[in-house]
Amino acid sequence: MNRETMEQRINRIKVVLAEKQRTNKWLAEKLGKEYSTVSKWCTNTNQPDLITLSKIAHLLDVDIRELLVSGKPIIKEFDYTSDSK
């Protein structure tokens, strides 16, 4: 999915970082990721994989569910029936 397709907040990484008084830079360093990658997660432009999300939860000492927006996300212009192989 690209930015045009995904217009809904999926994760709360930015919010939880602020609650824990941590920065994108801190998280990027702890994960060994580029700052720009973490920034994209924080703006919901891209999403981390589940393993990385689990690591983020551990680093921030939160349940992984706290990093996700509750409820059913709205995904616009995405056809679940098409086979995108």
Cα 54 to Cα 19: distance, rounded to the nearest angstrom: 18
Identify the CATH class of 13-67.
Answer: mainly alpha
Cα 1 to Cα 16: distance, rounded to the nearest angstrom: 24
Q: Where are the domains of the chain?
A: 13-67
3 backbone φψ class: left, alpha, beta (φ>0; ψ -120 to 50): alpha
Question: What is the per-residue pLDDT across 27-75, written as a single tens digit (0 to 9) for each?
Answer: 999 999 999 999 999 999 999 999 999 999 999 999 999 999 887 655 5
Terminal-residue alpha carbon distance, the chain:
13
pTM for the complete prediction? 0.76
